[in-house]
Structure 1
């Protein structure tokens, strides 16, 4: 009988040791999860610093809208360059809080077709200043020449004697 009690106590001790080992493994796994969670949280904090935030232009649309300008009017309802420039100047007057580059980007967004190609084809100096955009559009679509015509004239120019 004493042997039987001793065997029962040993079995109970082995069961308790196994349960303790299982609890220790759970605790270790939980600690590993907590460590990983802390590491991820610190990485997330590192990626959310102000150094990683990129400045992008923000366009605040007003209640006033203008139609996109495509080039020479093709239909009776299409705006001429002079009408579009007047509308665009009115739009920019309501957007005085925007910097010049954002105003220029707003103008380029309201261009399409040949008009957009004319502005973007002339480089960043042209497409980043509203007044230059207006000047180019008035020259090209008002009474001026198209960019390909100007390029053709430039490249076909022959020097005279003494030049």
Structure 2
């Protein structure tokens, strides 16, 4: 498994400290985030998923705990839109340059508005996808928000 991805290069270029954790990715499991948490020995609330959404025709990225659901109403409101919906997987892959199951908010092909669930600040660091299936990054929420120019908001359902 390659350890350098666009996500890790983005962090390296910004001088942000992170830790890489590789694990055996299983595409057949229903909750990939929970499976990742179990595989790396982290709490599910500390492992965050990357969701690509469309809000009134405009793409955005949402980083939220893998242990819960998100509220499209809260996401839309945070983005100043009337509604939001999940992006189709093929569109998410084309926009980010990553495969579903390996989408990172870092190093995407196109910069889009990004929201991070506010619970991220409850942890010393969070885990999120490192840009390929079976690769997690451990990074602080503050560093992640700063490099992504993201806002910390409540997106939980």
What's the TM-score bracket when you normalise by the shorter of the two chains? under 0.3
**Structure with the larger RCO, 1 or 2 (CA within 8 Å, 6+ apart):** 2
Counting helix residues as a fraction of each chain, which structure ranks higher? 1
Structure possessing the higher radius of gyration over alpha carbons:
1
Normalised by the length of structure 1, the TM-score is 0.23
Counting strand residues as a fraction of each chain, which structure ranks higher? 2
